[in-house]
Amino acid sequence: MAHHERVITLCYRKIITSSSARPWEKLVFEDTYAEFRLQAQFYNPERRHRTFGELLHHAPGAEQLHFLVSAAARGYVQQLQGLVPDVVNNLGKHFLKFSQFQFEIINSDLQDPARHQVAISFYAEPLTWLDTIGSYLLVADQAAPAGGEVLTHLFQIQPYLSIHALHPPR
Protein backbone atom coordinates (compact mmCIF):
# COMPACT_ATOMS: atom_id res chain seq x y z
CA MET A 1 0.00 0.00 0.00
CA ALA A 2 2.66 2.43 1.00
CA HIS A 3 4.10 2.63 -2.49
CA HIS A 4 1.42 5.02 -3.70
CA GLU A 5 0.25 6.61 -0.51
CA ARG A 6 -0.06 10.35 -1.00
CA VAL A 7 -1.98 13.35 0.17
CA ILE A 8 -4.54 14.85 -2.18
CA THR A 9 -7.03 17.70 -2.27
CA LEU A 10 -10.30 16.92 -3.99
CA CYS A 11 -12.40 19.54 -5.70
CA TYR A 12 -16.10 19.17 -6.44
CA ARG A 13 -17.59 21.73 -8.80
CA LYS A 14 -21.33 21.99 -8.35
CA ILE A 15 -23.20 23.50 -11.26
CA ILE A 16 -26.47 25.30 -10.52
CA THR A 17 -28.88 26.27 -13.28
CA SER A 18 -32.53 27.09 -13.75
CA SER A 19 -33.28 23.38 -13.88
CA SER A 20 -31.64 22.62 -10.55
CA ALA A 21 -34.45 21.14 -8.52
CA ARG A 22 -33.49 20.88 -4.88
CA PRO A 23 -34.37 23.61 -2.36
CA TRP A 24 -30.76 24.58 -1.58
CA GLU A 25 -29.94 24.84 -5.27
CA LYS A 26 -33.03 26.90 -6.01
CA LEU A 27 -32.22 29.35 -3.21
CA VAL A 28 -28.66 29.77 -4.47
CA PHE A 29 -29.95 30.18 -8.01
CA GLU A 30 -32.55 32.81 -7.16
CA ASP A 31 -30.43 34.84 -4.78
CA THR A 32 -27.32 34.90 -6.94
CA TYR A 33 -29.40 35.98 -9.92
CA ALA A 34 -30.96 38.81 -7.90
CA GLU A 35 -27.51 39.85 -6.65
CA PHE A 36 -26.10 39.72 -10.18
CA ARG A 37 -28.85 42.03 -11.38
CA LEU A 38 -28.06 44.47 -8.57
CA GLN A 39 -24.30 44.48 -8.88
CA ALA A 40 -24.09 44.33 -12.67
CA GLN A 41 -25.53 47.86 -12.80
CA PHE A 42 -22.26 49.21 -11.43
CA TYR A 43 -20.49 47.99 -14.59
CA ASN A 44 -23.39 48.79 -16.90
CA PRO A 45 -24.44 52.39 -16.15
CA GLU A 46 -25.77 52.98 -19.65
CA ARG A 47 -27.49 49.60 -19.72
CA ARG A 48 -25.81 48.73 -22.96
CA HIS A 49 -25.02 45.14 -22.05
CA ARG A 50 -27.35 42.29 -21.37
CA THR A 51 -25.29 39.19 -20.61
CA PHE A 52 -22.46 38.40 -18.24
CA GLY A 53 -20.33 37.49 -21.25
CA GLU A 54 -20.85 40.94 -22.76
CA LEU A 55 -20.02 42.62 -19.47
CA LEU A 56 -16.81 40.61 -19.12
CA HIS A 57 -15.82 41.53 -22.64
CA HIS A 58 -16.70 45.23 -22.60
CA ALA A 59 -16.79 46.50 -19.01
CA PRO A 60 -13.46 46.98 -17.22
CA GLY A 61 -13.45 45.27 -13.84
CA ALA A 62 -16.57 43.20 -14.49
CA GLU A 63 -14.66 40.04 -13.55
CA GLN A 64 -15.12 41.23 -9.95
CA LEU A 65 -18.76 40.19 -10.31
CA HIS A 66 -17.73 36.60 -9.50
CA PHE A 67 -16.59 37.81 -6.10
CA LEU A 68 -19.28 40.42 -5.57
CA VAL A 69 -22.15 38.05 -6.33
CA SER A 70 -20.62 35.30 -4.18
CA ALA A 71 -21.91 37.14 -1.09
CA ALA A 72 -25.40 35.97 -2.04
CA ALA A 73 -24.24 32.34 -1.96
CA ARG A 74 -22.07 32.49 1.14
CA GLY A 75 -24.89 32.08 3.65
CA TYR A 76 -26.02 28.95 1.84
CA VAL A 77 -22.49 27.57 1.73
CA GLN A 78 -22.37 28.03 5.51
CA GLN A 79 -25.59 26.05 5.84
CA LEU A 80 -23.76 23.01 4.46
CA GLN A 81 -21.89 22.94 7.77
CA GLY A 82 -18.55 22.15 6.21
CA LEU A 83 -19.63 19.03 4.27
CA VAL A 84 -19.31 18.95 0.47
CA PRO A 85 -22.79 18.27 -0.99
CA ASP A 86 -23.70 15.47 -3.41
CA VAL A 87 -20.48 13.49 -3.06
CA VAL A 88 -20.99 10.40 -0.92
CA ASN A 89 -18.80 7.49 0.03
CA ASN A 90 -19.71 3.92 -0.82
CA LEU A 91 -21.84 3.74 2.30
CA GLY A 92 -23.99 6.52 0.90
CA LYS A 93 -22.80 9.16 3.33
CA HIS A 94 -21.43 12.62 2.76
CA PHE A 95 -17.86 12.53 3.98
CA LEU A 96 -15.83 15.28 2.32
CA LYS A 97 -15.06 18.17 4.62
CA PHE A 98 -14.29 21.60 3.25
CA SER A 99 -13.59 25.12 4.37
CA GLN A 100 -12.51 26.63 1.07
CA PHE A 101 -14.85 27.37 -1.79
CA GLN A 102 -14.92 29.43 -4.92
CA PHE A 103 -18.02 30.84 -6.54
CA GLU A 104 -18.21 31.66 -10.22
CA ILE A 105 -20.80 32.97 -12.60
CA ILE A 106 -20.79 30.81 -15.72
CA ASN A 107 -23.42 32.73 -17.68
CA SER A 108 -26.13 35.17 -16.86
CA ASP A 109 -28.58 37.44 -18.60
CA LEU A 110 -30.11 40.57 -17.09
CA GLN A 111 -33.39 39.88 -18.84
CA ASP A 112 -33.64 36.11 -18.81
CA PRO A 113 -33.15 34.20 -15.55
CA ALA A 114 -33.23 30.91 -17.46
CA ARG A 115 -29.76 31.75 -18.78
CA HIS A 116 -28.29 32.25 -15.30
CA GLN A 117 -25.77 29.50 -14.46
CA VAL A 118 -23.35 29.50 -11.58
CA ALA A 119 -20.87 27.06 -10.09
CA ILE A 120 -19.50 26.54 -6.62
CA SER A 121 -16.22 24.68 -6.35
CA PHE A 122 -15.68 23.04 -2.99
CA TYR A 123 -12.08 22.34 -2.06
CA ALA A 124 -11.98 19.44 0.38
CA GLU A 125 -9.64 19.12 3.32
CA PRO A 126 -6.53 17.08 2.40
CA LEU A 127 -6.97 13.30 2.38
CA THR A 128 -4.43 10.54 2.43
CA TRP A 129 -4.94 8.37 -0.67
CA LEU A 130 -4.16 4.89 0.58
CA ASP A 131 -5.09 2.66 -2.31
CA THR A 132 -7.13 2.27 -5.47
CA ILE A 133 -9.63 -0.58 -5.67
CA GLY A 134 -11.15 -0.87 -9.11
CA SER A 135 -12.59 2.54 -9.82
CA TYR A 136 -12.70 3.39 -6.13
CA LEU A 137 -10.25 5.35 -4.09
CA LEU A 138 -9.53 4.38 -0.52
CA VAL A 139 -8.75 7.50 1.49
CA ALA A 140 -8.36 8.55 5.11
CA ASP A 141 -8.57 11.87 6.88
CA GLN A 142 -5.10 13.28 6.95
CA ALA A 143 -5.13 13.76 10.68
CA ALA A 144 -5.28 10.03 11.30
CA PRO A 145 -3.89 9.07 14.70
CA ALA A 146 -0.53 7.38 14.89
CA GLY A 147 -0.89 3.69 15.66
CA GLY A 148 -4.17 1.86 16.00
CA GLU A 149 -6.69 1.57 13.19
CA VAL A 150 -7.05 4.17 10.49
CA LEU A 151 -10.65 4.93 9.56
CA THR A 152 -11.12 5.10 5.81
CA HIS A 153 -13.59 6.08 3.12
CA LEU A 154 -14.12 4.24 -0.14
CA PHE A 155 -15.54 6.38 -2.92
CA GLN A 156 -15.68 6.73 -6.64
CA ILE A 157 -14.50 9.59 -8.80
CA GLN A 158 -17.59 10.98 -10.53
CA PRO A 159 -18.33 13.79 -12.95
CA TYR A 160 -17.32 17.22 -11.60
CA LEU A 161 -15.20 15.63 -8.87
CA SER A 162 -11.48 15.84 -9.43
CA ILE A 163 -8.15 15.69 -7.71
CA HIS A 164 -7.25 19.35 -7.46
CA ALA A 165 -3.81 19.09 -5.87
CA LEU A 166 -1.14 16.66 -4.73
CA HIS A 167 0.70 17.57 -1.57
CA PRO A 168 4.38 16.91 -1.07
CA PRO A 169 4.99 13.87 1.15
CA ARG A 170 5.39 14.67 4.80
Partner 1 sequence: MERKNFLKSLFVGAISAPAVLAACSKEEADAVTPATSGTSGTTGGTTGSSSCAVAPTETEGPFPTKVPASYLRSDITDGRTGYKLTAKITITNSNNSCAALAGALVDIWHCDAQGNYSEYGGTGMQSTNYQSVHFLRGRQVTDANGQVTFTSIFPGWYSGRATHIHVHVYSATGTSLKVTQIAFPEGSGSAVAAVNGYSKGMSGYTSNATDNVFSDGVSLELATVTGSTAAGFELSITFAVPA
Specify the residue, 79 or 167, whose C-beta has the smaller distance to partner 1.
79
Shortest CB 159 distance to partner 1, Å: 4
The reply to whether 102 sits near partner 1 by the rule CB under 8 A is: yes
* Half-sphere CA count of 126, side-chain side, radius 13 A: 14
String of contacts with partner 1 for each residue 139-158, x by CB under 8 A = ----------------xx-x
Closest C-alpha to 125, from 164, 151, 160: 164
Specify the residue, 77 or 128, whose C-beta has the smaller distance to partner 1.
77
Distance CA 85, CA 25 (A): 11
The H or E element containing residue 27 is: helix 23-39
> How far does the chain reach from its first CA to its final CA, in angstroms?
16
The reply to whether 107 sits near partner 1 by the rule CB under 8 A is: no
DSSP 51: B
Binder of partner 1 out of 10, 29, 70, 130 (CB under 8 A): 70
The reply to whether 169 sits near partner 1 by the rule CB under 8 A is: no
Specify the residue, 81 or 146, whose C-beta has the smaller distance to partner 1.
81
**Read out DSSP for 81-149?**
TTB-SS-B-TTS-B--BEEEEEEEEEE-BTT-GGG-EEEEEEEEPPEEEEEEETTEEEEEETTPPSSS-
Specify the residue, 22 or 58, whose C-beta has the smaller distance to partner 1.
22
Interface positions with partner 1 (CB under 8 A): 14-15, 17, 19-24, 27, 31, 34-35, 37-38, 41-42, 45, 63-64, 66-67, 70-72, 74-81, 86-88, 90-94, 98-102, 104, 117, 121, 123, 133-136, 155-156, 158-161
